[in-house]
Amino acid sequence: MKFYVCKDCGYEHTSIVVYQRHMKAVHNKVPINTCKICSEKFKGNDEFDKHLQFTHGTNHWDLNLAMKQVLRDMKKLD
């Protein structure tokens, strides 16, 4: 299980959404999104979504589904 840990206060949670809410509410920081395709970083979800759509022709939901399918296919090869 992956934990997201706050570097400022040590708060941790397994949900990225809850962790992001903590960062914004407690520390007034907006977490950075990193594109899994090209590693470009974005401060907001809107910028990130536009990047995925216009640069890579996809959205984060399609990308997550594609990655899950790749993992399933890899498991079948084992």
- Please, are residues 48 and 58 in contact by the beta-carbon 8 Å criterion? no
Please identify which residue in the block is written with the tokens 């640069």: 55
pLDDT digits (tens, 9 = 90+) for 68-78: 666 777 777 76
Residue 70: count of CB within 10 angstroms of its CB: 10
Between helices 45-56 and 60-77, what is the axis angle to 10°?
70
Tell me the chain's radius of gyration from C-alpha atoms: 15
Residue type, 56: H
- Please, are residues 13 and 19 in contact by the beta-carbon 8 Å criterion? yes
pLDDT digits (tens, 9 = 90+) for 11-65: 999 999 999 888 887 887 666 788 888 888 887 778 888 888 888 887 666 666 6
Which pTM value belongs to this model? 0.43
- Report pLDDT for 75: 79
